[in-house]
Amino acid sequence: MTDRIFNFSAGPAVLPEPVLRKAQEAIWNVAGSGIGIMEHSHRGKVFDKILVEAEASCRALADIPDDYAVLFLQGGASLQFSMVPMNFLPPDRTADYLNTGVWSQKAIKEAKLLGRTVHVACSSEATNFDRIPKPDEIAYSSAPAYAHLTTNNTIYGTQWKTEPAVPAGVALIADTSSDMYSRPIDVRKYAMIYAGAQKNLGPSGTVLVIIRKDLAETGPKTLPTMLQYRTFVAERSLYNTPPTLGIYLVGEVFKWIQSQGGLAAMAEHNASKAKALYDYIDASDFFRGTVQPDSRSLMNVCFRAPTEELEAKFITEATKRGLDGLKGHRSVGGMRASIYNACPRAAVEALVAFMKEFELANRSASAARV
């Protein structure tokens, strides 16, 4: 490794190197067309083939049934926070939200801004979101229009290990931005899944939406055209000019995941990386994890040093060593290693080696734990 360093950023995040190499060529001349991917018409045959292949790979990875549409949208997951209640939460109904951190809170806020009724079915805010609520802590409202959860919480480093049970007939909608396709997923358990691409799927600016077609048709037809899911289902994500480069890259990431053995292989790869890092943190008397063990994320590993001064020193020295993006979110501090699909095992090994070295050199300087 000469001109690349290890990137632990929470997003936009590391992409597979083979995909980046292929993108270099595609920006200049995609599919032997003599035109770069960013210059091609989204109505032309070259891009249409790219779109078809991206959707096919997406479907194959998770065995997505035909009654679900695969959409490539824009606006980030944050726009979905608004579009979901606009389409699926009538003024006379209630939606249930499972609150596990900042992104859950933002989704709740957007629904309330629309004047909709929101019921918080569970929350781990009392312990600063250091865990996922247990099943017996979830209390749904009497007849929710849908239930919404965030599957992985990048800021706090927590992750749902499996889908929470929801009442019969209630649509489960999930923001899977930071762990989508990091492990097998049963799409049939959800009415809708959405994910900003910039963590596990591709570059920022593209959003993957997997939605049951019958659900998409239930949204009010009085909404602006661009805010109706049915618009994009009917037009195959091509109602307006889509993020063509982003879709190309997401499609290539899907193919890369397939080449690695699919979602089961990704899950094994990610679990192995996370275990190596968590095992060291647990054995250390210098660093400490911030999440209850049964709620730990395999994507975002959050940890602290004994003092904030040592944390600042750690981040500075790690960056000099080519270990970038380790500063924790500004709202919680500490350190965070985001080890998404494309993060290689070598990156985690290099991080653990540096942590050991830093601990040995600075143990005497730690007067108190944070």
- Residue count of the chain, please give it: 370
Buried b (16+ CB within 10 A) or exposed e, 193-216: bbbbbbbbbbbebbbbbbbbeebb
- Measured distance CA(66)–CA(73) in Å, rounded: 19
* Active-site residue identified among 160, 175, 255, 273: 175
Tokens of 44: 């032309």
175 catalytic? Reply is yes
Whether the link from the prior residue into 12 is cis, omega within 30° of 0, is yes
Which tokens sit at 319?
A: 């960056």
Spot the catalytic one: 96, 103, 130, 179.
103
103 tagged catalytic:
yes
**Residue position matching structure tokens 């249409």:** 48
Q: Which of 96, 160, 199, 255 is catalytic?
A: 199
CB 250 within 8 Å of CB 181:
no
Select from 175, 200, 157 the least CA-distant residue to 77.
Answer: 175
DSSP code per residue over 247-290: HHHHHHHHHHHHHTTHHHHHHHHHHHHHHHHHHHHHH-SS-EE-
| Catalytic residue list | 103, 175, 199
